[in-house]
Structure 1
């Protein structure tokens, strides 16, 4: 029998017994209710009616006696009215009482009452008649006596009826009490029986289910909740609900075991992914600061093989192209002897060459017997699995990797190897590019040094020939006298002349090689400038837009990030410009413009640029100018200010506390004349930059003016920098006809002194301004890049920069065509110009630009890139200017090439103006405002 049926049966019996019990109790209660109703509603009602009838009857009888008395004659009429009224009431009451009588005896007594009251009523009527007539007093007394007898009968009858009703009330009350006692006894008995029945039922139900529940409880207690892989099952057969519970428990146990298994698998996958990401980060860290392919290959294979539990590993690097393509062993891991691996493979040769040809990886688990053995201190054995995979960069195989392991490679190891090889191709290409650049630089330096040596040898030979020629002239008389000696010496002279001619030819060839090398260097710097300025242009524009938008959705921290990016980009641009300036100085192609400079404004300029730096570092900054310093000074103001900024930047950088001071005074010509010829200079300035910083040791003062040189390694690590600042200062000072000297003690501070001449006629009238190297102790410390805003001179061919009016409406609804093959530049410029209210059309090369113009678009200005595929900016501008419709169309050339002559070439091709990348938004908008206004 099921647990549900047992419960239904047990509780059904209990419910049935309770129903029977309640039914008996209800019946007894109804009996008590009936008795009480009879007592209250019937017996008590009749008794009360009898009492009312007797009260009325007594009142009538008393009024008759009152009326019969002669003394009350005056009030007799009122008594008679009361008697008549009571008579009517008594008739009604007796009739009502007769209608509710429900017993034989009661009806009999009421019938007797009606008879006696009727006889009494007749006598009462006679008495009233006698009283009203006032006659027959003797008969009245007889009637009154008869009335008393009849009244006694009526009262006796009423008392009998009342007593009868009261006896019935007592009998009903006694019956109710007996019924109540029976109910109490019945309830006690029923409760006892119910307790017995319920106890028997509950014991029967508990005994039938407790055993099965105990079995389930024991199984649940035996579960190991720390290991749900094997959960015990409930073993018994039962068709009731307990059996269903056991079946459901067994099903739940199976589900938990399956879930536990899936959880373990998922945890294992997560662990594998974490393992892969950790190893990838380790490999990526290892790539840093590697500039040699052999070092890269050895470190890579040595790091990779242990990660995937490989016992042997080889990496092959691609050499050659086309049919001559082969893969040469670059590095190996755990290799012993020549038999451990071949030195090279041709494309398509063997499994390595075939995988390279097909650009796919392969895993071999059936290793051939002739494969390299894995050797240990205890023996040697064949590997169990081989992994061969290509390293691909831009859909080209650049290397091959082969690994051998004593255990088969797992799936997650294969995934890891695939991700590692994706990054290796990029790294190989990057290292190869750096090696090529380093090779070109070394080759250029070697050629320059070789030409210098050959030039010195040629100069020595030329001086020797000149001395011999003078000796021949002084001995001409002797040569005439000794013909044989003369002829011999003539032959010697002729031979030496031929040697001199050959040396001259060699010198011309070497000069041509030097010229070619300089050309290569210029092209290299131009290309480097272009490739760096192009992405830097987008970085500076976008970061400046983000940092300057006060109402943007960026947080203050994100805006600070943008400002840091913009500042770093400006520092990188300054470094590029420094390298180009230094290169221009070395080849003599840096333009120097001598013009008037107001020296009186110099202190204020320096204070404005460096006061906040001094305040930030908590040091004192002073600028003093002697009264005898002329206000007007002729020099190149831009180069002159750059020298001072570099010197002050170094002073602030290396000074942690104390003072930085600038003293501007007129140099004494007697002092200057000790070192150089002062011809052509109207006056000289002596500018001292003094600091209380770390100072420079005497042995380091001789090298710090060289390019890329610093005081020592510790200085470089602590303060940073590239070592170009003072080198540029020295070269700029030479260009301006001056020089720099240094006076410093380590730990005491430094003093840099700049001597600059005022040259109204420029360098042409300066005479000999070369500095005697033996008389000048040149020294230099590297420049710094403090977080200050540098003041830069912006050159605009169309005039000065215009101030942007508030709410500038000039740009509203203007259409600008941007021609650039770099989508980053298009994106940055488009967003910047759209914020000014302009409409932007983009073209990726010159042909697309011409198509836009031919389609009839109304263009207000064109921003033209120069270096583009298919048709460059020069040719595009020439073709636009060939159409007379576009004679007045503003074309602003934007180019990353910053070498000498680029601006003139752009203007000759038809450009209205020229801006070099990376450009500044303020500069671009100012130039556009000039041309759109015109």
Structure 2
């Protein structure tokens, strides 16, 4: 309790002491700069609890404290209500709202709980102890010892006002609260009218977008069908050329002279390259159209790493000036995914690393960042890729021309195909590169291809409030669109400042927090929240995170969701279902 400082204590023995408690709470809140409505909420909560002590226990004590953070600033007003009565029966039902009393007992207690940010009650036959906190935001300078003594003397000197005066004050506060609610109601009605008018235009816009999206999808399907049909048609004549070339090279119909042998070898080599191109086109078309079959098998990571070592060893014979290493895995685990497709991804990445490293080294490492994912890092010390070209290399047939490496052969399909395959294996490929400093490709793949899917038929988020703190309107819309069919109550805040009132007044069950907010960095907002909210926060970001920052954030929240992952909607539902389940556990 070293971060708490007691301000005053009020002994409750007479009804007038209830008024003293209320006045003390309101004055302390005013000294700390809380808004008038926040002062009223705090005073009302304290008044209800003090009245409970007087009515049901006869007497007790009310302690007022200030809590300071690591920087020495006041970040909360705390109080502790203590009595030695007979305890409160049916306390769990009172707090969850299921207890109905003919006398109204428990209503004030539940109301006080809703008005506070933290609330803890311990009750039994030897008495009741209630501890509660009201957050102060932004944090205020902690008063000096001299100032605390002045506050205490002022509270003791003023004492309790005349009950009739207090009734007048409370009447004025009620009028103020009613006026505030009326203003909010008018603002809400105006906003609803504006939204209704805007919605008509949005509906028309979505209709146009849906039509354009359908046309684009049809064009994409036509392109995929064309690729697939044409490549199948190409394969037959290419196979004939390859097979006849092999027969001629073997001398099946007579020995070839040296010049003929050289010419047929050129034909055979070109047919082989064309065959590889056709195979990659077929795979790319199938991956884009969703017709590619993924056949998960169970195999060990160490065994797969050995397969990569054998492949890299054979490949390296064509590049004698390059040193290479396949780092051993530190912990062998079992994978359940399509081994052939995973090898195809790594084969393309490793081959590319050798191609674009005139001399130096190529290293392949494997990491296990969590229980669901495996990462393969393919690093080289080659020519690197400029930032302008990093997106282009994942486009079909796009090749980056690099001075001094014009001889490098390729068709521009290897990396696009690897990216498509990674998405089909529930993963992604990331690139970090600088010209002249080499490149690092990271293939992040799900260990288990068949992850447990969300039970959409039985998923019910009724009563779950979700606050989306994100300045991107499209991202907020997507979250709302995904969660709305399951009856979640979704609220939106485009800035950190706009979210603070919602967090304190509503206490949402789940908070989706973007990191790149316009007024404050999301991680800083997370740190400023009280710890009871940290258990409700899910980071929802498109920003690539370094390992150190990711570990730091995971220590303060319940998970990190990447907006860029291909199965974003399903992943969002999985996280929300998990957090909603923890609330009811």
* Shorter-chain TM-score above 0.5: no
Higher relative contact order by CA 8 Å / sep ≥ 6: 1 or 2?
A: 2
Q: TM-score, normalised by structure 1?
A: 0.27
Select the structure that is richer in strand: 2
Computing the radius of gyration from Cα coordinates, the structure with the larger value is: 1
Select the structure that is richer in helix: 1
